[in-house]
Structure formats: structure tokens, C-alpha cells
């Protein structure tokens, strides 16, 4: 009985390790399936075509994003307390890190995230940003940065 259980366990483990196939992306954007038997094949046969956009259209879309947050043309971000930011640097919770988190959550660049308002202490902070043309609120508790209103 013990031998049959050991044989079944060995079979399951061997079967699990034999299925190592990986999907990777090449420099030109095509996906490739790397198989466990050292062979490969393209998943995407055609090279993806990058769309070239007109710079004027990009500039117009950027101004629309900013206008969706109702910002003035001469708006500047508020200046943060340098002492608090220096203390937060150890835990990677500075404004640079908060903006990176907001940009990642809203699929935009860090430069597109604009700080509108803040209330900051060493232990906690509340921030309002304009990201991708929408106002979003984030909070920081210690070194943890989460969207305001989220529990986990």
C-alpha cells in the first residue's frame, strides 16, 4: 500500500515538472512559445505595426487630460516639506514613489501624474492627484501607499 502511494506521488510530481512551457516577447513585439523539449514557435506570426501619431494630436489629448481635472493654465504643484520627505526616503515612500504607484495604477507615465493637494505627516499622508485626466485620492500609512477607500 505504501509503495503504491509513493508511486502515485512520484508520478504526479514528475508530470508537474514536465510541463514547463514559457511565453516570451521578442524585441520586435512578437510572442514566442518556448517548449520544454528545447523547441520554440511563434504565437504571433505577424510583426505588430506601431501606429505613428501626429504630435499635434498628442498635445491636444494632453491638454484635454489636464482640463478634465479643472486645472488653471499656470497651475504648479504644491511644495512638500523636505524634512518629512527625507525621513520617508528610507522606507521608499517619498512623493516620487507615490507618483510611481499612481502612474502604475492608472496606466500612464509618472510625468502625467500631477499633485493637486496634500496633507502630510511623518506617520501618514493624504494626497489628491490628477492622473489620466481623472482626480484620484491616495493615502499613505507609514510606508504603505494605497488608493483611498480601499481596504486591502
Tens-place pLDDT, residues 70-116: 788 888 888 888 888 888 888 888 888 888 888 888 888 888 888 89
Domain that holds residue 38: 2-42
Rg, the chain, Cα only:
24
Total domains present in the chain: 2
Model-wide pTM > 0.85: no
* CATH number of the CATH domain containing 114: 3.10.450
The H or E element that residue 57 is part of is: helix 55-68
Buried b (16+ CB within 10 A) or exposed e, 69-103: beeeeeeeeeebeeebeeebeeeebbbebbbebbb
Q: Is residue 55 part of a domain?
A: no
Q: Is 125 exposed, middle or buried (0-12, 13-18, 19+ CB in 10 A)?
A: buried
On whether both 79 and 23 belong to a single domain, the answer is: no
Q: Regarding predicted confidence, which is higher, 91 or 138?
A: 138
On whether both 81 and 138 belong to a single domain, the answer is: yes
On whether both 85 and 18 belong to a single domain, the answer is: no
- Would you give the DSSP letter of residue 123? S
Tens-place pLDDT, residues 30-57: 888 888 777 888 887 666 666 555 455 4
What's the confidence (pLDDT) of residue 51? 58
* Arithmetic mean of pLDDT, 3-30: 75
Amino acid at each position: 500500500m505504501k509503495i503504491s502511494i509513493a508511486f502515485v506521488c512520484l508520478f504526479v510530481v514528475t508530470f508537474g515538472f514536465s510541463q514547463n512551457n514559457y511565453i516570451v516577447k521578442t524585441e520586435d513585439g512578437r510572442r514566442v512559445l518556448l517548449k520544454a523539449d528545447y523547441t520554440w514557435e511563434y504565437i504571433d506570426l505577424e510583426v505588430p505595426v506601431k501606429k505613428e501619431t501626429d504630435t499635434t494630436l498628442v498635445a491636444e489629448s494632453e491638454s484635454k487630460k489636464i482640463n478634465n481635472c479643472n486645472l488653471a493654465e499656470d497651475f504648479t504643484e504644491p511644495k512638500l516639506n523636505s524634512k518629512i520627505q527625507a525621513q520617508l526616503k528610507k522606507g521608499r515612500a517619498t512623493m516620487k514613489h507615490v507618483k510611481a504607484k499612481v502612474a502604475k495604477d492608472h496606466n500612464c507615465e509618472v510625468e502625467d501624474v500631477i499633485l493637486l493637494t496634500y496633507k502630510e505627516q511623518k506617520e501618514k499622508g493624504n494626497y489628491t492627484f490628477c492622473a489620466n485626466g481623472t482626480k484620484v485620492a491616495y493615502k499613505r500609512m507609514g510606508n504603505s501607499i494605497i488608493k483611498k477607500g480601499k481596504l486591502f
